[in-house]
Amino acid sequence: MTAPRLIVGLGNPGGDYEATRHNLGFWFIDRLAAGLKVTLAPQGKFFGHAGRRDELWLLKPTTFMNRSGQSVAALARFYKIAPEEVLVVHDELDLPPGGIRIKQGGGNGGHNGLKDIQAQLGSPNFWRLRLGIGHPGNRNEVINFVLKPPRREELDEIDRALDRCLIAWPKLAVGDYATAQQALHTKAV
């Protein structure tokens, strides 16, 4: 079991994007940082807001989604963090609101943040915590959809999913992804 050393939440910086579906990764990092009592502060050399507790880094890139890899790679290279020690938390169109999946490696599913991280790290072997936002039903509507806030009923499901992720955090923190997967992939935790 390889414990994560870097947890990255994906999103877009700025107040215009704060409440949008595309910022679920930021939402998770904010909740995790509060729970761990980690302060996130601007870190210019890492192109984001970062904070540390022991050997664990939390990161919210401020590069905008399609350049997330610049931030992730800068911190990972500086602290010699391998892709297998990185957990990226992001919104997922292919899961319903409240759906959660965790996996290592694989494709990027057209997610520009994941695509850039793969390119910058030179590997797809990082872990992904995929938080469902649902799909608008028409792929021409995807950009508009992810850059809007979730509807009230979706937000309730997303909040419950984030709570489940925090409950599973102790398993994720030690690299026990199999047990965390079982807990996260089952609605009742």
**pTM of this structure:** 0.95
* Portion of the chain with pLDDT greater than 70, in percent: 98
Phi, psi (deg, nearest 5) at residue 153 = -70, -35
Mean pLDDT, all residues of the chain: 94
* CATH 3.30.1300.10 applies to domain 6-185: no
Tens-place pLDDT, residues 59-83 = 999 999 999 999 999 999 999 999 9
Q: What is the mean pLDDT of residues 153-179?
A: 94
Assign 162 a pLDDT band (cuts: 50, 70, 90): very high
Residues 75, 173: Cα–Cα separation, whole Å: 19
Q: What is the mean pLDDT of residues 150-168?
A: 95
For the chain, give every domain's residue range. Answer: 6-185
Asked if residue 13 lies in contact with residue 62, where contact means CB atoms within 8 angstroms, the answer is: yes
pLDDT value of residue 174: 94
Q: What is the mean pLDDT of residues 135-153?
A: 94
Residues 47, 68: Cα–Cα separation, whole Å: 9
Q: What is the mean pLDDT of residues 161-183?
A: 93
Assign 189 a pLDDT band (cuts: 50, 70, 90): very low
Range 168-174 contact pairs with CB under 8 angstroms and sequence separation of 24 or more: 169/32, 169/35, 172/4, 172/87, 172/102, 172/129, 173/3, 173/4, 173/56, 174/1, 174/3
Residues 155, 49: Cα–Cα separation, whole Å: 25
- Give the single-character DSSP code of 37: T
Residue 110 has pLDDT above 70, yes or no: yes
Tens-place pLDDT, residues 16-43 = 999 999 999 999 999 999 999 999 999 9
Tens-place pLDDT, residues 3-15 = 999 999 999 999 9
Active site members? 22
Residue with tokens 């793969």: 118
pLDDT value of residue 187: 58
Tens-place pLDDT, residues 111-125 = 899 999 999 999 999
